[in-house]
């Protein structure tokens, strides 16, 4: 099966920096697709030494928006671009600037707007991103759609200058929190260059209401209205100020007023000058509560396992001690058999305690049981090998 990793690994001329740049791009380009309600295509050359014939370029991967129905129903990965896109791609690749079609394409009765931007790494173009928008869905755009599309376009234009994806991202939301990274549909806030709120999506308003922020946020300093709801004696995450200021790419998880909100800031630039920022936010209060419940249950199960293990070891030790003291061979054999059974129970219990599906690896268990059997069955002048 052809996928992104195999395609770029088979493309001659890509160095490590090029590959890392492309991986960073597709890791975050879902944000652009969701904001602009558009499909994205990453187009790469067959070789960095052979890029004269753009018709031989390949779609390395694609991204469908989760905020609107995708226009592209088929899978284009591994295929050549549509012939209608070739002039746009040629101009973008050779001019090294963002380009757009001078007319809407009509595909399956749908008006499509195509815009392409080069992906630059170390001063050379290594790929192109095509943004395809269904213009038939833009007729009833409201304030939410206009704000979302405007910010998404800014991020898309930042690809041309190499400002997106961000080279550095400050984050204290590692480990278990990383899977709770906010998405566009979870809510977002748009800030101007001074950190004042220009627009807050409905889901974002609902999220911040959980920590006591109510009323109209527009026109207010975002950092101030968040700081006002923090407990003065509470420990504040180090990255919080970076996120609410919106001046650097950062992520943080904020706990306040018995609520938990995951936030991520994405600075916006135009021609290298800061113009504001996008703050993605997600209410993960219920998710965090469930995680804490699971952590408590895991700790309880671990404690029970520890006690059962200790009790089984104590019983096994007593049986071993009694077997050594008895003078009857028959009693000794029975005690040793009982000890083997107890230790077998301990091994199986150990395996069950480390799995969630009530399945135990037979190969691992039988190896331990055989070693125990050899130790117990071996006499003073006898050696058993398996």
Q: Tens digits of per-residue pLDDT, 335-359?
A: 888 888 888 788 777 777 777 666 7
Spatial contact of 338 and 319, defined as CB atoms under 8 Å apart? yes
Q: Which one-letter DSSP state was computed for residue 53?
A: -
Nearest alpha-carbon partner for 129 in 231, 208, 224, 26: 26
Nearest alpha-carbon partner for 249 in 235, 264, 228: 264
The least confident of 158-172, 265-279, 307-321, 352-366 is 352-366
Spatial contact of 34 and 66, defined as CB atoms under 8 Å apart? yes
Look at residue 312 in the predicted model and tell me its pLDDT.
86
- Summary mean pLDDT of the chain: 87
Look at residue 12 in the predicted model and tell me its pLDDT.
92
In this predicted structure, the answer to whether residue 87 has a pLDDT above a threshold of 50 is yes
Spatial contact of 191 and 279, defined as CB atoms under 8 Å apart? yes
The least confident of 141-145, 250-254, 280-284, 296-300 is 296-300
Interval 110-137: pLDDT, tens: 999 999 999 999 999 999 999 999 999 8
pLDDT band at 381 (very low <50, low <70, confident <90, very high): low
Q: Cβ atoms within 10 A of the Cβ of 263, count?
A: 27
Please give the span between the terminal C-alpha atoms of the chain, in angstroms, as a whole number: 44
pLDDT band at 269 (very low <50, low <70, confident <90, very high): very high
Alpha helices in the chain (DSSP H): 4-9, 16-36, 86-95, 143-160, 202-209, 222-227, 240-245, 285-325, 329-353, 362-377
Which tokens go with 183? 């998405």
Interval 39-77: pLDDT, tens: 999 999 999 887 778 889 999 999 999 999 999 989 999
Nearest alpha-carbon partner for 36 in 148, 154, 204: 148
In this predicted structure, the answer to whether residue 175 has a pLDDT above a threshold of 50 is no
% pLDDT > 70, the chain? 90
The least confident of 108-117, 224-233, 370-379 is 370-379
pLDDT band at 280 (very low <50, low <70, confident <90, very high): very high
Q: Cβ atoms within 10 A of the Cβ of 356, count?
A: 6
Interval 200-224: pLDDT, tens: 999 999 999 999 998 899 999 999 9
pLDDT band at 301 (very low <50, low <70, confident <90, very high): confident
In this predicted structure, the answer to whether residue 379 has a pLDDT above a threshold of 60 is no
In this predicted structure, the answer to whether residue 228 has a pLDDT above a threshold of 60 is yes
Determine the Cα angle at 232 with ends 230 and 234, to 5°: 75
Look at residue 172 in the predicted model and tell me its pLDDT.
45
Look at residue 357 in the predicted model and tell me its pLDDT.
64
How confident is the model over 231-248, as a mean pLDDT? 88
DSSP letters of 235-248?
Answer: PPPTTHHHHHHTSS
Helix (H) or strand (E) holding 282: strand 273-283
Cβ partners under 8 Å of residue 189, min gap 6: 197, 199, 200, 201, 204, 217, 222, 278, 279, 281
Per DSSP, the three-state class of 295 is helix
**C-alpha span between 58 and 75 (Å, rounded):** 12
Look at residue 177 in the predicted model and tell me its pLDDT.
46
């Amino acid at each position: 099966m052809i996928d992104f990793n195999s395609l770029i690994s088979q493309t001659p001329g890509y160095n490590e920096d090029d590959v890392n740049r492309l991986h960073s791009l597709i890791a975050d380009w879902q944000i652009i697709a969701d904001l602009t309600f558009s499909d994205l295509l990453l187009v790469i050359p067959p070789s960095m030494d052979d890029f004269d014939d753009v018709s031989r370029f390949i779609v390395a991967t694609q991204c469908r928006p989760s905020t609107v129905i995708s226009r592209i129903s088929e899978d284009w990965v591994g295929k050549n671009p549509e012939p209608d896109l070739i002039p746009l791609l040629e101009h973008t690749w050779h001019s090294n600037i963002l380009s757009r079609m001078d007319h809407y394409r009509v595909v399956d009765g749908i008006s499509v707007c195509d815009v392409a931007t080069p992906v630059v790494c170390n001063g050379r173009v290594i790929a192109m991103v095509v943004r395809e928008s269904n213009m038939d869905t833009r007729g009833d755009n409201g304030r939410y759609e206009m704000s979302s599309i405007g910010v998404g376009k800014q991020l898309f234009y930042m690809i041309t200058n190499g400002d997106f994806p961000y080279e550095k991202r400050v984050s204290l939301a590692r480990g278990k929190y990383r899977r709770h990274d906010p998405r566009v549909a979870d809510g977002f806030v748009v800030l101007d260059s001074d950190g004042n709120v220009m627009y807050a999506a409905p889901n974002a308003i609902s999220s911040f209401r959980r920590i006591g922020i109510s009323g109209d946020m527009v026109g207010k300093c975002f950092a101030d209205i968040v700081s006002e709801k923090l407990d003065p004696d509470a420990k504040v995450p180090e990255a919080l100020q970076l996120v609410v200021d919106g001046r650097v790419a950062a992520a943080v998880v904020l706990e306040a007023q018995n609520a938990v909100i995951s936030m991520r800031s994405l600075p916006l630039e135009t021609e290298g000058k800061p113009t504001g920022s996008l703050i993605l936010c997600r209410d993960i209060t219920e998710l965090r509560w469930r995680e804490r419940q699971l952590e408590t249950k895991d700790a309880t199960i671990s404690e029970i396992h520890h006690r059962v293990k200790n009790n089984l070891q104590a019983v096994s030790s007593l049986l071993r001690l009694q077997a050594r003291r008895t003078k009857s061979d028959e009693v000794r054999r029975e005690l040793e058999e009982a000890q083997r059974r107890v230790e077998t129970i301990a091994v199986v219990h150990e395996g069950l305690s480390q799995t969630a599906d009530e399945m135990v690896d037979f190969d691992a268990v039988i190896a331990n049981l055989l070693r125990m059997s050899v130790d117990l069955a071996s006499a003073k002048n006898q050696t058993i090998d398996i």
